[in-house]
Chains A and B, each alone.
Chain A
Amino acid sequence: QQKVQQSPESLSVPEGGMASLNCTSSDRNFQYFWWYRQHSGEGPKALMSIFSDGDKKEGRFTAHLNKASLHVSLHIRDSQPSDSALYFCAASPIASSSFSKLVFGQGTSLSVVP
């Protein structure tokens, strides 16, 4: 059973638009989240982490976490063609431990159209 579910599977937005990606954990033990981005031919690159309820903003990227529903979203404003990539949500049971494994969702493919 997939512990981390992402939606939508794919998304297309116009350049300059807002992209919104969603992620939900089905296991209440997995409540610490990261967002990763993977461009074709590369490994995943960490975008940001979020552990507390509410919003966290880093540049054009804003993550929102609702711990009660274990739902986290990622919003990309002023989307650029270079943002076109696979986006993965990852969840962990413990935020700060080397022994804590990271479980990934199945990814959202984002395409930003010029």
Chain B
Amino acid sequence: GALVYQYPRRTICKSGTSMRMECQAVGFQATSVAWYRQSPQKTFELIALSTVNSAIKYEQNFTQEKFPISHPNLSFSSMTVLNAYLEDRGLYLCGAREGGDTQYFGPGTRLLVL
């Protein structure tokens, strides 16, 4: 079956520092990967949509300079949160799709900022 792994599951960083999170699709070829942030109130914000062999499209309020993403192949994607501050806390979710099929999510990386 289709599975999406994310690591780390939880991370704590000091304000102003950066942290990298990874996403791996197993059992299917992830032709697109979407990164979301789920707020403490449980709402979803789409950060960016990345498709293999195509430019990464960032949503309004999110930039490559703040959330650089790498999607080198059909099974792996990583995103870094640079200069993290309190407003960056939340659950970062990776959703991967093969073509137009259902988007499968990983368990998320929970970011706490001190």
Contacts and interface: CB of A to CB of B under 8 A. Distances in A.
To the question of whether A and B form a pair in one complex, the answer is yes
Q: Is the interface of A mostly helix, strand, loop or mixed?
A: loop
Interface stretch (B13-21, B76-84, B104-112): B104-112
Given A46-B105, A96-B101, 11 more contacts: A34-B103, A36-B105, A41-B107, A42-B108, A94-B100, A97-B99, A99-B54, A101-B49, A104-B44, A107-B42, A107-B43
A45 B107 CA distance: 9
Nearest first, the 8 closest Cβ-Cβ pairs linking A and B are A96-B100, A98-B32, A43-B105, A104-B44, A98-B31, A43-B107, A46-B102, A44-B105
Contacts of A44: 93, 95, 105
A44 B49 CA distance: 17
B100 A101 contact: no
Interface string A33-57: 0101000011111100100000000
A88 interface: yes
A18 interface: no
A88 B31 contact: no
